[in-house]
Structure 1
Amino acid sequence: MSAPKIAVTDEPLPSGALLTRIKLNAPERCNSLDPQMVEELRDALGHARRQDAAFVALTAKGRHFSTGGDVAAFHASRDRAAYADTVVGPLQDIVRTMLQLPAIVVAGVQGACTGGSAGLLFASDLALLAENAFIQPFYTEVGFAPDGGWCALLPERIGAARALHIQLENRRLTAPMAVELGIAQETVPAAELERCLGDKIRRLDETGILHSMRATKRLVWDEPRIAAVSERLRAEQDSFRSLIGREETAAGMERFLDTL
């Protein structure tokens, strides 16, 4: 049996509320999103909901938060559309679940946060970025259709024109740029990321107004907005599936893999 790729722990906070810590735990593969990783992450979020966690801390072990989908695994798959269903489908569900989760999700991101893994950042309620963090789509470089909310969710965060520009030109967003755009709230030294994340959650807990925070999240991510994002997430998945089998995409994957 494969070693777990997601680590989950529960931690009581001073108020008596529960913090669920979810950590991507495959640093040897740069926490790339594969079928096991996304299934375990989906299960971890389900655990947080069942435990009625007040907060979820989403972090990753190693130099990089996550490099997104494993291009080599897509390229090696005999049935690329079927393989996409085992990664992209669960990823889209994860993004939707994070928006609907009553818990306040706080992400801590270091190093690369690229491809579909950026959806975990976009769907978080608050985020801290290490000074070495960067966000980049890579879809036009590889030939994939965007997934994880790059088209379904990012325009909600920063506007359609900016989201389109970043993706069409495969722009790399540094941590300060991401904060300026509103994708995250602050940058911190990489060595202090875990401590700063814990401090932020404890400060939120100390306010004693979790009921107000939950109401605010529920009002921002109300049923009409969730429904609109969900429809776009399904469209992303359909588009990803339709492009993954094209000859141009296969050639793009080969070019990309040759650069590694």
Structure 2
Amino acid sequence: MSFVETECRNGAIWLWLSRPDRHNALIPALIFDLRTAIAEAADKDPVALVLSGRGSSFSTGGDLGGFLDHARSQIELRAYADLLVGGLHDAILDLLAFPAPVMAAVNGPVTGGSTGLMLATDLVAIAETAFIQPYYSQVGFGPDGGWTALLPDRIGTSRALAIQYRNTRISAGEAVELGLAAALGPVPDLPATIDSWVEDLGKGYAQTHQVTRQNVWDVSRREEVRRRLDQEKTRFLDLIGRQGTLEGMKDFTRKRA
């Protein structure tokens, strides 16, 4: 069973993160399925690519249970973290290189590294009840998924740092004000909002939309993002093996339980 479901809708391809029992928390198998689905979608020349999540969350970032399951030794834990974070970063780069406009229907909370999947999209419709939050400082992780590689360019360095230092929760309305989302509304209305954007795209030349995106996310810019994501991963791996981080994961898991 795939952790990513594919749906063709009005010329767009929707990719649904489908691990709702775990709030679509990221594990290597989900990332593998996502990258496979992105590659298959690119071959079909859609009007747009749309990301969303099944259940009540878009994604709550890396599954702490997965990290703890591989914490029998530092070597095993680092290898697992390398696989997960490296795969997530590759998925973000896949989205940035996608040949058509990329959108997101953010149906619920977006936390941790999964925020990078949203940051790699062009247009976001967010549910009124959704929020964005880092949580890194509550666990002891280094930021991944573009929190330092992409977010400062979107909302400004000082604001991005303050959000992460204070573990600030960004509400859906604040996400629109910051330019992280273009529209908000009830969860049932998100598909219609995306459909209207896809319809607008269909009124213009697809070749123009493709070139516009390629100009913005050209090779040199994507390579700079890759470099900064690699830096995030290196520092994530540096911290994941520390005893304090292991205790932070266990403590955070107990509190959430």
Report how far residue 204 of structure 1 moved.
Answer: 2.0
Structure 2 distance, partners of 1:192, 1:122, is 21
Matched, 1:148 2:155: no
**RMSD between aligned residues:** 1.2
Structure 2 distance, partners of 1:156, 1:49, is 26
TM-score (norm 2): 0.94
Matched, 1:21 2:18: no
Equivalent in 100, 124, 128 of residue 127 of structure 1: 124
Which residue is 1:202 aligned to? 199
Matched, 1:230 2:229: no
Report how far residue 210 of structure 1 moved.
Answer: 1.9
Preserved CA contact (<8 Å) 1:128 1:184: yes
Could you tell me which runs of 5 or more consecutive residues in structure 1 were left unpaired when the two chains were aligned.
Answer: none
Which residue is 1:139 aligned to? 136
Which residue is 1:52 aligned to? 45
Q: Secondary structure at the match of 1:59?
A: strand
Equivalent in 40, 43, 49 of residue 36 of structure 2: 43
One-letter identity of the residue aligned with 2:243 = E
Which residue is 1:33 aligned to? 26
Structure 2 distance, partners of 1:87, 1:223, is 24
Matched, 1:161 2:158: yes
TM-score (norm 1): 0.93
Report how far residue 80 of structure 1 moved.
Answer: 1.1
Structure 2 distance, partners of 1:53, 1:187, is 24
One-letter identity of the residue aligned with 1:168 = Y
Report how far residue 251 of structure 1 moved.
Answer: 1.4
Which residue is 2:211 aligned to? 215
Which residue is 2:182 aligned to? 185
Structure 1 distance, partners of 2:159, 2:212, is 26
Could you tell me which runs of 5 or more consecutive residues in structure 2 were left unpaired when the two chains were aligned.
Answer: none
Structure 1 distance, partners of 2:60, 2:191, is 20
Q: Secondary structure at the match of 1:259?
A: helix
Report how far residue 154 of structure 1 moved.
Answer: 0.9
The percentage of aligned residue pairs carrying the same residue is 41
Task: Give the aligned length.
Answer: 252
